[in-house]
Amino acid sequence: MSWLPIALVAVPLLGALAAFVPAVRDSAVAWGIAVSAAVLVLAVALAAVFDYARPAEMQLQTDQPWIPGLGLRFHLGVDGVSLPLVVLTALLTFLCFVHLAGHPPEGGRTGGLVVTLLVLEVGMLGTFLALDLLLFFVFFEVVLVPMYFVIALWGGAGRRQAAVKFILYTLLGSAVLLIGLLVVWTQAGTLDMVALAGRHGSGIARSAQILAFLAIGLGLAVKTPMWPLHTWLPDAHTEAPTVGSVLLAGVLLKMGSYGFARIAIPVLPEGAAALAPWLGAFAVAGIAYGSLACLAQRDLKRMIAYSSVGHMGFVLLGFASLTPVGLNGALFANVAHGLITGLLFFLAGAVKERYGTADMVRLGGGMLRRLPYVGSLLTFACVASLGLPGLAGFWGEMLALLGAYRPAAALSRPLFLVFMAVGGLGTVLTAAYFLLMLSRVTHGRAVETVSPAGPPEPAASLEPAAPLEPLPLEPALPLEPAASLEPVPLEPVRPGATGAAGAAVGAAVGVGTREGAEPGRGRRPFRDATAHELAAWLPLVALIVLFGLWPKALLAVTTPAVQSLLGSGVAP
Amino acid sequence: MIAVVALIVLLPFAAAAAGLLATRLGTRNLGPRAERVAYRRAAWFAIVPGGVSAALTVWLAASLAGGAGTSEGRFWSELLPGRVEGTLTVVETGSVPISLTLRDDGLSVLTGILVVVVALAVQVYSVGYMRDEPRYPSYSAFVSLFTSAMLLVVYAGDLIVLYAGWEIMGLCSYLLIGHWWEDRANSRAAVKAFLVTRLGDVGFLFGIFVLGTAAGGFRIDDVLRADIPQGTLIAATLLLLAGVAGKSAQVPLHTWLPDAMAGPTPISALIHAATMVAAGIFVVARLYPAFLAAPPTLDVLGVVAAVGMLGAALAALAQDDLKRVLAYSTISQLAYMGAALAAGSDLAAMFHLVSHGAFKALLFLCAGLVIHHVGSNLISHMGGLRRALPITFWTMTIGFAALAGLPPASGFFSKDAVLSAVEHGTGPAQPFVYASALLTVGVTGAYAARAWLRTFFGPARVEPLAEPPPGVAHVFDGREAPRSMLWPAGVLAVPALLLGLAGSAAGSAAGVKVEWGPAAVSLAVALLGAGIVYALWRSAPEQDPARLLGPFRVPCERAFYVDAAYAALVARPVLRLARAVVRTDARVVDGAVRGSGRATLGLSGLVRLAQNGNAQLYVTGLFAGLVLIAVAAVVLT
């Protein structure tokens, strides 16, 4: 019995309720930061009291009767599989609020957005903590509604359609998931995930396992998303506001893949073994298809959305191998993708906010000159995403491929070798689209850029030596309003470079952001990363580097856990 | 002692971090002086850790020379018998563990010395070369990062650690080729370099998987000691060869290297001539026992090398861009090393690697001096520079002599070692490789002589250029470049001239001797090539001696249209496929989704027809149902 998991779910819920109090509503964002910071502290506390000597066991459990008539229990807990995701969720939500403080949503109604995001956090954390199948499903569903509103109310031009597609598609998936969960319940007679996982499928007939795996897998595959069930994703990502995209890519997609690791594979091992070749085939099809789709995209946010299809393909390939190393890779890639794609969407949002468009053709080139920090960080995030060793993106994909090289004994090895080869080519295509995008957007000279309203800015001048358009509030900030606005210090630096100096610069510039934002958006000059943006981005950068250089930080937690999930019999 | 190895690797890494993070720290209040401060700081960050690393490497070599003889029968075991290994931690992955291991033996130290010396020379040179460059801090930091990554490859004791360094080198190469990214061509060259090498690296990673899984661990010692069936070894080494071909710019993945000359000239010297491209050869030497146990792989390597050395040498003969001449010559020389490896002599390959590293870095630094002076890369803009640039002339002459293999320069000895190794080689492709190698010696003499004569002799063709576009060096007023640029060239000239003598002395200590017969033959062939070019040039100094190629000149200049073929066969089809995927996604995959929505709406429209509010219809339907049920009940019971 531990109060920590309950507090993790209760604090954001109470926070959301309290946000309706008028006194709180006036400073909604500050309230949101406070609540999400408290949740982050709780999550870090959870990680601190977690016993790393036995990460395979469920720890800090709380198990209360919930609906005794049906045998449902309010059962929460963490192990090595869920702990990183809980912390990731708390961190990303907190960073979203920090970002929100400097960049209020375009649609206004900030208080509403804060409430929505807090409810979203309840669902996301609950999903990763739940240890009862139906409780898992409830939290899984709780997430949909706030995300629908985030897209439908604060999204871009095509938000209505995207939001409807998102909710209908994922609800349909959830319905199938529920059927699968009910099959498990009727066959095994319990909803307790720990007990079910401990049995490793004994007590459920093979045919029922296959059926249940199919239903659960399809439901989760919509969320993950797996090709060809992915088409809700690009629309939702493109239309969602920055914070929505970040949470959608950073956490919501992980709920699907987490379901594979927590439910589908350990509870239904025979079903998994029977359907793993199909899962693998769809996974690598997604890798190749997603990468190719990225190669021909024009819209920056849409491209990053499709890149998620490719990256989640690696996660699914790792699961499909049914080996400890493959599952390890999948879980690592999960966390890495959350960090990296979260950062990418933050950056894409920053670009869209400044240029007024995310269309690569209209963005033109020369971002490294116009926005050195944003451009450098974008380079960093892309390099991390394409799987450079030494950054977080590499290990997950490498281990997933290694899992496919020698899949579980029950699976056809030649087939998985083909999968591995396709996945390997997928990494080349991944590098191709990211580098082409960087080449288009960050390199070259800024000449073709258009501004959302009004004439093109003279800042986009032909001479690289010409100073950029001066800040209108320059008199108020006499001392170099920004090193970033000078024509000289333009380095394609690796992002860490922003560091303290960058934060200071951002602070100086950030003052003007909110004042200048309201009137005449077209006249707003380009300003580089603000303090709030840097505060939201740099933790992600630090973690990407940390996990890249020291993968053991994550693998030491997940390795024993996945070994116990698979049972000793399945591993080769 | 392993701490020293770690320090050697980490110092440049720390320098890179400092260069990126700290060069502008606190300079905002300095006003116009901020740039100078940042520049000076970056220079210190670049040079001091590099210098310390170099000193530590030399110390390491000395301590290895006196170490206990534990290396097992490799060519360096006489000279540098010591051996150190240290593991920081073992990462459990669920199957084959990854051990974060560094190791240090004769091979590492030999290559390590080359890396740190060339890197230090390039950093010093860059201080002058990039003086007016606002992005110098990031540039020097990337060079430091590259040095660190290359040292990680050299000292890695685990294949995954090696792969990490291998890929980070590729990233640095990308960032540095694209240093002047305002020009789209540079950006394209950078992307091409990364993608082509990455394609090979996928094979490399899979090769590591095969070896690691078969041996039960990625530690290099475990892999080399494990008893792996030959079929597995052949598969693994062939896969590794893909990565080697990518990094070392061998056929068919060589096309990125000539384009990579878009980067600043010091980068061409460091990365694309002396060190990174040598990494592929180094890795083969590192895993040589595995390659020796897989003869078919060595045969493939031999054929690839034979095709590459001659083709690249012919291409070098026809280029007009001085740096591209040197780039093709690099491909050709790397192919020599590959041929030596294929013939079974890692000693000859490593000997040529080190001497080539010295003389090719020298040639590039000298080319940079020339380009700095002329303001253009094109040989047709040069000529008669002997008087204006006397120091450059002499140092570059040494470099060309070494390249052509003229005694007593280092290239003569190392190339002779390679040729005699190839001559004694076995395997079905040996006659082909040997013929190609000998022919290439002649062509090498020819293109070296052409570049030398066209640059330093004949009529001066220097035209004053206006402000040069980015990517071309600056126009200088003075006669010679600043001293910080001349010194590194002068220092590198020493090993380029003398390394061969030293190496052959060390070789004879190890029982390897210069074979004077084949040496004389190759010298004669080289002189013949050079002589033909000289005769042609003599008859018409203002014309390009490349005209001796006749109708083959254009194909050679275009490097036999390999680039065009790749664009037509790979790049464009992939892009077309990508557009097709986007169309399919919108019409078919998403079309099915939207279609299901429309179908549902249509169905609901049909069902709505029944709900039209007409009570009579409802009652009729109810009655019909009743009748149906009644009839069914009667019939079925």
Say whether pLDDT at A506 is over 60: no
What is the structure's pLDDT at A489?
Answer: 36
pLDDT confidence bin for A33, thresholds 50/70/90: very high
pLDDT digits (tens, 9 = 90+) for B427-460: 888 899 999 999 999 999 999 999 999 888 888 7
Is B85 part of any domain? no
Looking at the structure, tell me whether residues B631 and B523 fall in a common domain: no
Q: Please list the residues that pair with B101 across neighbouring strands.
A: B87
Is B263 near chain A, with CB under 8 Å?
A: no
Looking at the structure, tell me whether residues B518 and B380 fall in a common domain: yes
Q: How far apart are CA A404 and CA A418, in angstroms?
A: 9
The closest CB to that of A432, out of B141, B164, B195, belongs to B195
Q: How far apart are CA B488 and CA B481, in angstroms?
A: 12
Is B521 part of any domain? yes
pLDDT confidence bin for A464, thresholds 50/70/90: very low
Q: Please list the residues that pair with B86 across neighbouring strands.
A: B102
CB contact under 8 A, B581 and A491: no
What is the structure's pLDDT at B462?
Answer: 58
Is B625 near chain A, with CB under 8 Å?
A: no
Closest by CA position to A427, among listed A460, A398, A470? A398
Looking at the structure, tell me whether residues B426 and B521 fall in a common domain: yes
Q: How far apart are CA A5 and CA B346, in angstroms?
A: 61
pLDDT digits (tens, 9 = 90+) for B95-153: 888 999 998 888 899 899 999 998 998 899 888 888 878 888 999 999 999 999 999 99
Window from A246-260, A485-499, B84-98, B563-577 with minimum mean pLDDT: A485-499
Looking at the structure, tell me whether residues B421 and B363 fall in a common domain: yes
Q: How far apart are CA A460 and CA A205, in angstroms?
A: 67
Is B26 near chain A, with CB under 8 Å?
A: yes
Is B63 part of any domain? no
Q: To the nearest whole number, what is the mean pLDDT of chain B?
A: 87
Is B198 part of any domain? no
Residue with the bigger pLDDT between B26 and A417: it is A417
Burial of residue A21, with CB atoms counted within 10 A of its CB: 0-12 exposed, 13-18 middle, 19 or more buried: exposed
Domain that holds residue B417: 298-465+486-543
pLDDT digits (tens, 9 = 90+) for B214-233: 998 899 989 998 889 999 99
Alpha-carbon dihedral sign for residues B73, B74, B75, B77: negative
Structure tokens of A310? 């490719």
Residues 6+ apart with CB under 8 A from B607: none
Q: How far apart are CA A95 and CA A537, in angstroms?
A: 8
Q: To the nearest whole number, what is the mean pLDDT of chain A?
A: 83
Looking at the structure, tell me whether residues B619 and B518 fall in a common domain: no
Looking at the structure, tell me whether residues B379 and B526 fall in a common domain: yes
Q: How far apart are CA B260 and CA B192, in angstroms?
A: 8
CB contact under 8 A, B593 and A169: yes
Say whether pLDDT at B50 is over 70: yes
Structure tokens of B375? 């303001």
Contacts of B162 in chain A (CB under 8 A): none
* B548-574 average pLDDT score: 87
Say whether pLDDT at A451 is over 50: no
Strand, coil or helix: A410: coil
pLDDT digits (tens, 9 = 90+) for A177-230: 999 999 999 888 888 888 888 888 888 889 999 999 999 999 999 998 898 899
What is the structure's pLDDT at B512?
Answer: 61
Looking at the structure, tell me whether residues B594 and B451 fall in a common domain: no
Cα A162 from chain centroid? 18
Q: What ipTM is given for this predicted complex? A: 0.90
Residue with the bigger pLDDT between B600 and A458: it is B600
HSE-CB at B241 with a 13 A cutoff on CA atoms is 27
| A-chain residue closest to B31, CA distance | A480
Which residue is listed with tokens 């002047």?
B180
* B486-511 average pLDDT score: 78
Is B256 part of any domain? no
Alpha-carbon distances of A405 from A98, A402, B213, B318, B351, rounded to whole Å: 42, 5, 9, 45, 37
Residue with the bigger pLDDT between B156 and B81: it is B156
Looking at the structure, tell me whether residues B408 and B342 fall in a common domain: yes
What is the structure's pLDDT at A126?
Answer: 94
Rounded CA Rg of chain A: 23
Compute φ and ψ for A296, nearest 5 degrees: -110, 15
CB contact under 8 A, A500 and B25: yes
What is the structure's pLDDT at B87?
Answer: 87
Angle at A232 between CA A229 and CA A233, to 5 degrees: 95
Last residue of a domain, one of B543, B558, B586: B543
Residue with the bigger pLDDT between A474 and A89: it is A89
pLDDT digits (tens, 9 = 90+) for A12-24: 999 999 888 888 7
SS3 for B48-82, per residue? HHHHHHHHHHHHHHHHHHCCCCCCCCCCCCCCCCC
What is the structure's pLDDT at A468?
Answer: 36
Looking at the structure, tell me whether residues B532 and B584 fall in a common domain: no
* B87-91 average pLDDT score: 88
What is the structure's pLDDT at B467?
Answer: 53
The closest CB to that of A383, out of B95, B171, B589, belongs to B171
What is the structure's pLDDT at B341?
Answer: 93
Alpha-carbon distances of B109 from A106, B61, B411, B587, rounded to whole Å: 59, 6, 21, 59
* B565-572 average pLDDT score: 90
Structure tokens of A13? 């819920």
Is B314 part of any domain? yes
Looking at the structure, tell me whether residues B617 and B511 fall in a common domain: no
Q: Name the A residues in 393-412 with CB < 8 Å from any B CB.
A: 394, 398-399, 401-403, 405-406
Last residue of a domain, one of B494, B519, B543: B543
Is B566 near chain A, with CB under 8 Å?
A: no
Structure tokens of B54? 């170099």
Q: How far apart are CA A180 and CA A461, in angstroms?
A: 60
Structure tokens of A209? 């396992």
pLDDT digits (tens, 9 = 90+) for B241-271: 999 999 999 988 999 999 988 888 888 888 8
Is B219 part of any domain? no
Looking at the structure, tell me whether residues B514 and B612 fall in a common domain: no
Looking at the structure, tell me whether residues B334 and B399 fall in a common domain: yes
Rounded CA Rg of chain B: 31
pLDDT digits (tens, 9 = 90+) for A313-339: 999 999 999 999 999 999 999 999 999
pLDDT confidence bin for A466, thresholds 50/70/90: very low
Is B138 near chain A, with CB under 8 Å?
A: yes
Contacts of A228 in chain B (CB under 8 A): 589
Is B610 part of any domain? yes
What is the structure's pLDDT at A463?
Answer: 35
Say whether pLDDT at A85 is over 90: yes
What is the structure's pLDDT at A480?
Answer: 33
* A120-130 average pLDDT score: 94
What is the structure's pLDDT at B71?
Answer: 53
Instruction: Say how many domains are in chain B.
Output: 2
Say whether pLDDT at A482 is over 60: no
Q: How far apart are CA A315 and CA A283, in angstroms?
A: 8
Is B181 near chain A, with CB under 8 Å?
A: yes
